[in-house]
Amino acid sequence: MRIDILTLFPDMFSGVFGNSILKRSIQKGLLEVHTHDIRNFTLSKHRRVDDYPFGGEAGMVMMIEPIARCIEQLQLERDYDAVIFMSPDGVPFKQNAANRLSMVENIIILCGHYKGIDERIREIYITEEISIGDYVLSGGEIAAMAVVDAVVRVIPGVLNDETSALSDSFQDGLLSAPVYTRPADYKGHKVPDVLLSGNERLIKDWKLEQQLLRTSQRRPDLLED
């Protein structure tokens, strides 16, 4: 998979992609990530990429031309399965979207900033908009990091144990069951006996029961869905 990220702050991504699962997926050749500084695509000698909005609203708007030049250059080099804009008014990002995107080859992710981007970018180039929550961040970079991490970890071969991703929260529409490791008894707080029993059927039934219980208590909306 190849992911191209359009941003005003490419340095923000170096730490994220240089560590942990994302770093290993790049080393394995399963992932290519390229960040593109939108300022490199402006014709302004001052590298300006924003301007005042028509209509007099407060704040600045990212201009159409630098973003369009960057997207068009990338699209000349290869076909893209999705051009995604990280936006608070996008579709809420869920696990099924991460699973879907993990199966494509090439993705562009546009990170907005300031008051937003010129609406014509959304009309002409964007194929889908994604939100990671009902709140506003200073820019789309943190949201893009979250989406990339969620997508990449379910690509076959990224995790050493591929079944691990399948048992994550939300994969089956439920939260995960509680998990434990050694010691079995910590200051009187003991691991449930069923997990020490070795009985796979009982353990499986217990985990499902705990998933349903935890989901009903913490995220009943998931059961409604």
The answer to whether residue 158 is domain-embedded is no
Helix axes 20-27 and 141-152, enclosed angle (nearest 10): 60
- Domain containing 217 equals 167-224
11 and 73 within one domain? yes
- Rounded to two decimals, the pTM is 0.88
**Count: domains in the chain:** 2
- Tens-place pLDDT, residues 128-154: 999 999 998 999 999 999 999 999 999
pLDDT number for residue 73: 98
Tokens for 162, please give them: 């591929």
pLDDT number for residue 161: 59
Q: Which of these three, 98, 126, 152, is where a domain ends?
A: 152
The answer to whether residue 162 is domain-embedded is no
The answer to whether residue 17 is domain-embedded is yes
Q: Which of these three, 152, 178, 202, is where a domain ends?
A: 152
The answer to whether residue 109 is domain-embedded is yes
Q: Which of these three, 99, 129, 152, is where a domain ends?
A: 152
- Tens-place pLDDT, residues 55-86: 988 899 999 999 999 999 999 999 999 999 99
Tokens for 182, please give them: 């050694």
126 and 35 within one domain? yes
- Tens-place pLDDT, residues 7-65: 999 999 999 999 999 999 999 999 999 999 999 999 988 999 999 999 988 899 999 99
133 and 213 within one domain? no
